[in-house]
Amino acid sequence: MKDLLHKYRKLLLTSAILIITIAVVFVLNYRNKPVTYSWDEKEKDNHLSRKITTAINVYTDGKAQEVFHESGTLEGIPYDILRVTPSEHTFLQVDYSEVPKPLSELADEETTAAGYAYAGGINGGFFQLTGKEYGRPVGAVRRKNNWTKWQGEDNTPAYGSGFATVYFTGDTMRLKYHGWQNGIWIGDEDWTYESGYAIDAENALSGSYTYIADGEVKDITGDDHGSIDYRTFGRAATIFAQNTQHEYLLITIFGVVDDTKILEFLQSQNTVNALRMDGGISTQMVYIRKYVTEVKS
Predicted confidence (pLDDT) per residue in 66-81, tens digit: 999 999 999 999 999 9
pLDDT tens-digit map of 238-295: 999 999 999 999 999 998 999 999 999 999 999 999 999 999 889 999 999 999 999 9
Q: Which of 88, 117, 61 is nearest to 287 (CA)?
A: 117
Q: Read off the DSSP letter of residue 40.
A: B
For 164, other C-beta atoms within 10 Å of its C-beta total 26
Residue 157, pLDDT score = 81
Q: Measured between alpha carbons, how far is 44 from 46 in angstroms, rounded to an integer?
A: 7
* Buried/exposed 126-154: b ≥16 CB within 10 Å, e otherwise: bbbeeeeeebbbbbbbbbeeebbebeeeb
Residue 211 contacts residue 249 (beta carbons within 8 Å): no
Q: Measured between alpha carbons, how far is 173 from 241 in angstroms, rounded to an integer?
A: 9
Distances (CA, A) of 34 to 14, 48, 52, 81, 173: 32, 14, 17, 15, 27
Q: Read off the DSSP letter of residue 86.
A: -
Flag whether pLDDT at 119 surpasses 80.
Answer: yes
Q: Read off the DSSP letter of residue 227.
A: T
pLDDT tens-digit map of 18-66: 555 554 444 545 678 888 888 777 676 777 788 999 999 999 999 999 9
* Buried/exposed 210-238: b ≥16 CB within 10 Å, e otherwise: bbbbeeeeebbbeebbbbeebbeeebbbb
User: In whole numbers, what is the pLDDT of the chain averaged over residues?
Assistant: 85
pLDDT tens-digit map of 127-139: 988 888 899 999 8
Residue 170, pLDDT score = 95
Parallel/antiparallel/unpaired status of strands 293-296 and 67-74: parallel
